[in-house]
């Protein structure tokens, strides 16, 4: 009987324990399910939060901020020289610190539509560089339109960013013909959106109508046409690229009432025209860039441009393109100019730069003919210049680069011009630090 009771009690205990275990198992499974549901909810919440964040980030990614600062020290041969190496030196100064460029660019890139605003802030003040809208048609994505203030579509050197350019400044020819590089207007662009290595993809065109005064207010009713037909030929197997283009400028500069257009192409007498309303401003340009790798030395590029045409200057002492309404006589000259620029990589971090540029503002006269006779109306604005620049660029990291550069400037001389009867001492050394982001 005792055994039976003991067995009964043990059975009860066992049943109770099994039941308790079942309860515990049940509770554990329920707990787990609850925890999984909770985690699932948290993951879904996180996923929703991620999608919201992603949408915000995607929207913010369209806003692009970039810029660069070029701080530099320059030393010239003499005090107060005129220079195209970053502007004239002030009277009494032959060395200087300057912020050559302090750019900040904001762009909103919505794939086929774009907004761009760029300013230049230096110790000299604040200036507008770019302010334009651009868009591409959504079907072929090959045709685009741009309106506002932006780079003139002419040649290579204008559109080659100052932050990327190895030599500190553009050639004298470009600084004279296109001061400030930009202009106010509208341009049409054709850049075929075609499959990889499609023949059509090697060509492009940009051209449009501009005010013709640079980044200044409009001063006349005539619009200038500027355009470039370009090509870019890649030879992948040879690691060779040949780019180039043909550019054209067809425009004019308005003559003030009662003033004359002097065609200064004769060493004895300049012809005067008082009837024509606009003096011709016509250029034709050719440019080419070759990229190749030399055995042992590595990659190099050789760039060259040639421009010739008619240029109306505002005085006998200057052939620069006008940037405001002209109130005096105009001096119409046939000009030509070119540059050759060789850049040799020295490893990944260094580049050797050699640049030679020539600008002859008046190809019809030379030497002592300039300034000989008052009736010829020839002066300092007709003197030919050549510049040999040599330098080294060092890329410290992705953002910083150093430029050491020396410009050796030679000028045509005329015994009839007191200030230009010998080669001027106007060479300039530049040391520049650039930060770009």
Partner 1 sequence: MKKIILLLVIATMAFGFTYDNKVITVKGSDTMVILAQRWAEKYMESHPGITIQVTGGGSGIGLAALINGSTDIANASRPMKPSEREKLKQRYNSLGVEVKTAKDGLSVYLNEKNSVKELSIQQIKDIYTGKITNWKDVGGKDAKIIVYGRENSSGTYVYFKDNVLGGQDFTSTMQSMPGTSAVVNAIVKDANSIGFGGAAYAKGIKFAAVKKDATSKAYIPTEENIKSGNYPITRYLYLYLKTRPSGEMKDYIDWILSAEGQSIVTKVGYFPVR
For residue 381, what are the contacts with CB-CB under 8 A and spacing of at least 6?
313, 315, 316, 317, 318, 319, 331, 333, 361, 362
Alpha-carbon gap, residue 169 to 84, rounded angstroms: 8
239 binds partner 1 (CB under 8 A): yes
Q: Which of 87, 179, 207, 234 binds partner 1 (CB under 8 A)?
A: 234
Neighbours of 309 (CB within 10 A): 19
346 binds partner 1 (CB under 8 A): yes
Residue 324 φ then ψ, to 5°: -150, 170
236 binds partner 1 (CB under 8 A): yes
Alpha-carbon gap, residue 277 to 255, rounded angstroms: 6
429 binds partner 1 (CB under 8 A): yes
Q: Which of 293, 375, 400, 419 binds partner 1 (CB under 8 A)?
A: 293
Q: Which of 352, 372, 373, 433 binds partner 1 (CB under 8 A)?
A: 352
Q: Which is nearer to partner 1, 239 or 421 (CB)?
A: 239
Q: Which of 117, 392, 413, 433 binds partner 1 (CB under 8 A)?
A: 392
Alpha-carbon gap, residue 307 to 334, rounded angstroms: 11
The DSSP secondary-structure symbol of 36 reads H
Q: How far is the CB of 141 from partner 1 (least distance, A)?
A: 6
Residues 295-334 as x/- pattern, contact with partner 1 by CB under 8 A: ---xxxx---------------------------------
CB 226 within 8 A of CB 184: no
Q: How far is the CB of 119 from partner 1 (least distance, A)?
A: 23
349 binds partner 1 (CB under 8 A): yes
- Residue 273 is inside which H or E element, if any? strand 271-273
94 binds partner 1 (CB under 8 A): no
For residue 45, what are the contacts with CB-CB under 8 A and spacing of at least 6?
none
Residues near partner 1, by CB under 8 A: 111, 140-141, 160-161, 164, 193, 195-197, 201, 232, 234-236, 239-241, 291, 293, 298-301, 343-352, 390-392, 394-395, 398, 404, 406, 408, 427, 429
């Amino acid at each position: 009987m005792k055994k039976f009771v003991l067995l009964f009690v043990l059975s009860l205990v066992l049943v109770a324990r099994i039941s308790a275990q079942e309860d515990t198992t049940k509770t554990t499974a329920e707990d787990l399910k609850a925890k999984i549901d909770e985690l699932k909810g948290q993951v879904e919440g996180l996923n929703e939060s991620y999608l919201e964040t992603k949408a915000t980030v995607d929207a913010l990614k369209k806003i692009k901020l970039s810029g660069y600062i070029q701080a530099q020290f320059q030393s010239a041969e003499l005090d107060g020289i005129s220079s195209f190496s970053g502007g004239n030196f002030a009277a009494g100064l032959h060395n200087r610190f300057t912020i050559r460029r302090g750019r900040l660019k904001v762009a909103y890139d919505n794939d086929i539509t774009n907004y761009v605003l760029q300013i230049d802030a230096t110790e000299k003040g604040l200036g507008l560089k770019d302010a334009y809208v651009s868009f591409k048609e959504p079907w072929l994505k090959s045709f685009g339109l741009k309106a506002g203030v932006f780079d003139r579509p002419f040649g290579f050197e204008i559109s080659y960013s100052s932050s990327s350019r190895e030599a500190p400044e553009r050639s004298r020819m470009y600084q004279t013909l296109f001061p400030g590089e930009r202009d106010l207007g509208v341009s049409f662009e054709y850049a075929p959106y075609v499959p990889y290595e499609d023949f059509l993809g090697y060509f492009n065109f940009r051209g449009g109508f501009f005010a013709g005064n640079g980044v200044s207010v409009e001063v006349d009713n005539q619009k200038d046409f500027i355009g470039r037909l370009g090509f870019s030929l890649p030879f992948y197997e040879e690691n060779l690229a040949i780019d180039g283009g043909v550019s054209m400028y067809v425009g004019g500069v308005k003559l003030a009432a009662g003033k004359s257009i002097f065609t200064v192409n004769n060493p004895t007498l300049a012809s005067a025209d008082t009837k024509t309303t606009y003096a011709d401003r016509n250029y034709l340009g050719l440019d080419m860039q070759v990229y190749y790798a030399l055995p042992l030395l590595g990659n190099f590029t050789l760039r060259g441009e040639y421009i010739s045409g008619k240029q109306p200057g505002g005085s006998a002492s200057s052939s620069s393109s006008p940037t405001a309404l002209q109130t005096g006589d105009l001096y119409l000259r046939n000009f030509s100019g070119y540059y050759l620029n060789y850049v040799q990589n020295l490893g990944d971090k260094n580049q050797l730069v050699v640049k030679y540029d020539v600008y002859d503002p008046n190809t019809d006269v030379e030497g002592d003919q300039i300034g000989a006779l008052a009736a010829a109306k020839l002066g300092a604005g007709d003197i030919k210049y050549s510049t040999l620049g040599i330098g080294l660029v060092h890329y410290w990291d992705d953002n910083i680069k150093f430029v050491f550069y020396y410009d050796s400037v030679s000028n045509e001389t005329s015994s009839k011009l007191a200030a230009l009867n010998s080669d001027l001492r106007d060479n300039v050394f530049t040391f520049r630090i650039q930060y770009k982001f």
